[in-house]
Chain A
Amino acid sequence: MSAAVSSIREPLIIGNKNYHQITEDLIGPTEKAPNRMWIIAFTLSVMTFGYGIFSLCWTFYFGIGAWNANRTIGWAYDITNFVWWIGIGHAGTLISAILLLFRQRWRTGVNRAAEAMTIFAVMCAGLFPATHTGRPWFDFFMFPYPNTRGPLWVNFNSPLLWDLFAISTYFTVSLLFWYTGLVPDLATVRDRAKGVRKKLYAFVSMGWTGKAKHWQRHEYLSLILAGISTPLVLSVHTIVSFDFATSVIPGWHTTIFPPYFVAGAIFSGFAMVQTLMIITRKCFGLEGYITTNHIESMNKVILVTGTMVGSAYLIELFVAWYSGYIYEQFAFYNRVLGPYYWSYIGMMGCNLLAPQVFWSKKIRRNIWWTFFISIFVNIGMWFERFVIIATTLARDFLPSSWSYYWPSWVEIGIYVGTFGLFFTLYLVFARVAPVVAVAEVKAILKQYGDQYIGPDAQPHHDHHHAHEETIVEDEDLAGQKH
């Protein structure tokens, strides 16, 4: 057994659960017929996604001209949405990887859903640059492979190509990590299922039986995947920020971009996790597994990263002024007081000011406040990307080419469509697989169940006694070996 847990720690599993109850609670939702709310939500998502497909087809038929992106503002709505979705995709791997390395046990309640969210968000994100190329059926030109065009290779010095590598790697590693974690839980579903369902789950659970050696290797694999995912997740948004930072556009070529983008990505990712988890726990009755403690922990992360992002905004302004470089100064003057001043206000208000309410413990532990603020953060982070991309480009070096940008219905349709895609995939996932990591929750039950720690803890003399006995025997065995 693992080390004893400090008694001041608060329980993470509430409701005096035992192992079987955990299985019932977490696997249960996949075994019932979907309720009416799920069917309505699913229908809406599929319809929204359909509208997105329609807008995409419109784009392919009429060309990129159907968008309002213009010569001055060439990166507009699509790249804003791309960076926004990629940012959202950062919380999943952060929760599963970095929090695993830091031994933060509260990750077990939310990691599975957050990882799924990551994968779906990256899929939505990838759609934008793929479409932005104009002829997505030639997108495979971006991958370096021996070809008959020279062979003409891609530019390995370009941050855009680094981005391609970073995002494909991120997607693949997140998928492997997520699925490998899911296999034992799918086996649990299999062993409870009957008939065709059993066959289907037997196929996807890969013949998992829970052998001691397999668990040992599984833990090794998870740990090392976490170890390599940690720098990976930081590298992905760093490289996304390079898309801007290595350019020569005032307002973009700043060295603060990598850390500021990474903090922003974690910030928006956690906000999206909050939004989704608050709905999920309510719909599936998972209040005993995604507790107020989980929500509070995530709100703390939101507060920290929000304040980091906020100070980056202020430092940017200071450095622009202090640099004495008039183009940089103009770029930032334009951000705050230019034609897109409203999006700057939205960004500052939602990202810097709104999360500050989380200094209050009461608000951090309040579901409604959390939900409300998480929506604010999602909007604020979208504004941030819009401010960086559209505002900066709108006023370039030549006043004659200054422009204003507003998305066309086609662009809005694609963006709305990605929400449809995201929620369609999430809703399907929530039906077919447990949204909380069953095995991982069971593994922390004896340390974090409310019958073991916290105000409702019951004295478990037998257990503690047995626990000590094992340790003694462990040492005995170790002694025999030497």
Chain B
Amino acid sequence: MKGQHKEVLFGLYNDEVVLMNAISKAKKQHLDIMDVYSPFPIHGLDSVLDLEESRLHVVGFIFGTIGMLTALIGMSWIFGGSLMFEGDWPTIFGGKPYWSLPAFIPIVFEMTVLFTAIGMTVVFYIICGLGFGVDNPVLDDRITDDKFCLAFQTNEMDAGSVDNLKGFFQATGAEEVHAKTI
């Protein structure tokens, strides 16, 4: 698909409730929705659109575990005194054991949080294809303001099906219908 132009037919709705009803109708009519755009997250849209639950929390858990192990293994390797590590530079602080686990907890915690946050955020931007300087095509400038957009791809559609979609938009209360090549 990359590099190929998409022909998009989209309708702009004024209200998220009208949009949700339109999506439900589109689903019932087995129309192939390309995407839905909105100025804010719409509660319940995921289930209407049959969007799969995001697995971003799994990413967070993995990065958190890596952070925790990095801190724990790192400090244990440096200070030694445990069964696993001899110690890169064991130092006595106040007569405490080399491997003083309770004292490691604050840093282990902070590293867990740090890795989770950075890892999840970076993965979020990567899987969404977002990043500084990324220039994604914008269907309509008002979508980030007050318009709710339902878009269909019309590349391989005949004129009849496109007219059918236009009729669908009209029937479901779209305020405007536009075609755009992106």
Contacts and interface: CB of A to CB of B under 8 A. Distances in A.
Interface of A: 1-2, 18-20, 23, 144, 150-153, 155-159, 161-162, 165-166, 168-169, 172-173, 176-177, 180, 183-184, 187-188, 190-192, 202-204, 206-221, 224-225, 228-229, 231-232, 235, 239, 242, 439-440, 442-443, 463, 466-467, 469-470, 473-474, 476-478, 481
A239 B57 CA distance: 27
B141 A165 contact: no
A215 B145 contact: no
A235 B109 contact: yes
User: Interface residues of B toward A: which range?
Assistant: 35 or more
Contact of B124 (A173, A180, A207): A180
A244 to B, nearest CB: 15
A225 B117 contact: yes
A235 B108 CA distance: 12
A468 to B, nearest CB: 10
Contact of A211 (B37, B47, B107, B120): B37
Contact of B146 (A18, A203, A216, A228): A18
Main secondary structure on chain A at its contact with chain B? helix
A356 to B, nearest CB: 35
B40 A440 contact: yes
Given A165-B106, A169-B113, A210-B144, A176 B48 contact: no
B96 to A, nearest CB: 7
B127 A217 contact: yes
B36 A211 contact: yes
Contacts of A229: 113, 117
A156 B78 contact: yes
23 contacts: A19-B39, A144-B74, A151-B89, A156-B104, A161-B107, A166-B106, A172-B114, A191-B141, A206-B132, A207-B131, A208-B130, A212-B42, A216-B41, A217-B124, A217-B128, A220-B54, A225-B120, A231-B109, A439-B41, A440-B40, A463-B17, A470-B48, A477-B24
Contacts of A177: 117
B144 A153 contact: no
A210 B110 contact: no
B37 A209 contact: yes
Given A191-B142, A208-B130, A212-B35, 20 more contacts: A23-B146, A169-B110, A173-B117, A180-B121, A180-B124, A184-B144, A192-B141, A203-B132, A206-B132, A209-B137, A212-B51, A217-B54, A217-B128, A220-B54, A220-B57, A225-B121, A229-B117, A235-B110, A439-B41, A467-B17
Interface of B: 15-18, 20-21, 24, 27, 35-51, 54, 56-57, 60, 64, 74-75, 78-79, 88-89, 91, 93-94, 96, 100, 103-104, 106-107, 109-111, 113-114, 116-118, 120-121, 124-125, 127-139, 141-146
A473 B18 CA distance: 12
B113 A206 contact: no
A476 B75 CA distance: 55
A192 B38 contact: no
B41 A224 contact: no
A219 B54 CA distance: 10
B96 A157 contact: yes
Contact of B145 (A23, A161, A173): A23
Nearest to A214: B128
Contacts of B74: 144
A206 B110 contact: no
A162 B107 contact: yes
